[in-house]
Amino acid sequence: MVRPRRLHTALGVTALVAGLGLLGAAPATAGGGHGHGGGHGDSCRLVDETLTFTGAPEPELTEAFTSYGNTAGEWTGGDSTYSIPMRGGQIAWVFSDTFLGEVADDGSRPLDSPFLNNSFVVQDRRDNLRTVTGPDQTSLIGPPTDEPAGWYWVGDGLQTKRGDVQLVALRFWYGGGGSFDFGWESNHLATFDGRSLELESLTPLPSASGVQWASWIAEPLHGHGGYTYIYGVDDQGLVKSMHIARVRGTDLTGTWEYWTGSGWSPTETDTAAVMSGVANEYSVTPYRDGYLLITQDTNELFSRNIVAYTSCSPTGPFQPAGLVYEMPEVGATGSYGNPNIWAYNAHEHPELRTRDTILVTYNVNSFDSTELYEDASIYRPRFIEVEIDVERSR
């Protein structure tokens, strides 16, 4: 069948971007506190406190997506798993590669299950779920018309004050020459109608630096300077590095500035690597009087570890804060007992945080794409509730 091979190629890109080797020297960290948007100065208590993390599967979302995926005849699995809080108490869950269709009683997917490169699952205020795709169950963002072998994976996004939904879309290409004949090409801004979630426009974003500006979008908070921070990754295979941009307000069509390590520049190629060891998807959120970074640890190959860092500024420097959670599915000794299983792209969902309890998701996959048809449970997000105990410094 063509489908399993094509799927292996598309999902295999995620395998590389999420887990391939991750060794090498760390870039110089950016200086802390400069131009960070106000609110914290150059110091905070958080970086001096001891954080202990206790994680376990979050039952309600786990059950909701499991039941929906198994019985609704719509979305049956996907990865990325960003979330955008929307008006009216809704949440738009944003997925890149996505399975649609039915799941059999034995938990398998039909080999002809529709497969998309991006989709939404909308959770309403009553926690009902519905799938949003393009026309006739196509990808929300269709393949490039000038490159039919290409596709778009989606990153994080936001709802603007106008009400439309913006997210960063990453354009990739596939050359047809085997599982590794692919690559990232450019960044784009996808804008959707805030009610129907229909695609309204797709426009180029800065791409000259080689940074994929889709890892995380941090909306402005009161007293934090009114900036939206855009976090990206420079994915060199063996080293993945964080980069940071910002735009005033909540409209990503505004003028971007780039963190240079000591200040902000209007020139994208001035961007500086803040730290290595992050995944292609991660989160940076305000926490107490500082900032909390959640990411899979990509300093080791196909790591099962989700780790945290803290900082007094959204631009760093970030210092290690400990192990958040060990993803139990990974590898031959994991819960599937399968050496093909791997996990990736952990991040927080701050709109679902309750005091010191945070919600983290990550994705699970197999290097053998046929297994994603044999067992639909593999290719679904995991929802983890993590309690943070903070021991105050003296």
Residues 264-281 pLDDT 10s: 999 999 999 999 999 999
Q: Tell me the three state secondary structure of residue 271.
A: coil
Q: Are 227 and 286 in contact (CB under 8 A)?
A: no
- Please state, in angstroms and as integers, the Cα–Cα distance from residue 327 to each residue in 21, 279, 296, 348, 367, following that order: 18, 15, 10, 15, 17
How many other C-beta atoms can be found within 10 angstroms of the C-beta atom of residue 49? 16
Answer whether residue 17 shows pLDDT above 80.
no
> Is the pLDDT reported for residue 234 higher than 50?
yes
pLDDT at 277: 96
The values of phi and psi at residue 44, to 5°, are -160, 165
**Tell me, what's the pLDDT at 5?**
26
pLDDT at 392: 84
pLDDT (0 to 100) of residue 178: 53
- Please report, in angstroms and rounded to a whole number, the separation of the first and last CA atoms in the chain: 63
Give the model's confidence band at 12: pLDDT under 50 very low, under 70 low, under 90 confident, else very high.
very low
For 272, which DSSP code? Answer: -
Express each pLDDT in 94-141 by its tens digit: 999 999 999 999 999 999 999 999 999 999 999 999 999 999 999 999
Residue the block writes with tokens 């900082």: 311
Phi, psi angles (nearest 5°) of residue 2: -70, -40
Q: Is the pLDDT of residue 222 over 80?
A: no
Across the chain, mean pLDDT equals 88
Q: Which residues pair with 263 in a beta bridge?
A: none
pLDDT at 298: 95
Residue 264 to residue 146: CA distance in whole angstroms: 35
Query: Which has the higher per-residue pLDDT, 18 or 391?
Result: 391
* Residue 76 CB coordination number (10 Å): 27
Residue 177 confidence (pLDDT):
57
Helix runs in the chain, H state only: 2-19, 59-71, 370-374
The SS3 assignment for 32 reads: coil
pLDDT tens, residue by residue, 293-308: 999 999 998 999 999 9
Q: Which residue has the higher pLDDT, 34 or 170?
A: 170
Q: How far, CA to CA in Å, does 331 sit from each of 26, 50, 57, 248, 328?
A: 27, 31, 19, 43, 9
Query: Phi, psi (5° rounding) for residue 10?
Result: -65, -45
**pLDDT confidence band for 159 (50 / 70 / 90):** very high
List domains and CATH numbers for the chain.
2-391 (2.115.10.20)
Phi and psi dihedrals of 372, rounded to 5? -70, -20
Inter-CA distances, 258 with 50, 157, 222, 312, 350, Å: 31, 18, 22, 19, 24
pLDDT at residue 237, as a whole number: 81
For the segment 206-216, the average pLDDT, to the nearest whole number, is 97
Predicted pLDDT at 18: 39
CB atoms inside a 10 Å sphere around CB 372: 27
Q: Whole-angstrom Cα distance, residue 371 to residue 281?
A: 24
Q: What is the mean pLDDT of residues 190-202?
A: 97
Average pLDDT, integer, range 22-47? 48
Instruction: Please say whether the beta carbons of 93 and 81 come within 8 A.
Output: yes
Percent of the chain surpassing pLDDT 70? 86
**CA gap 163, 54 in Å, rounded:** 36
Judged against a pLDDT cut of 60, whether residue 20 lies above it is answered with: no
Sign of the Cα pseudo-torsion (278, 7, 367, 69, in order) = positive
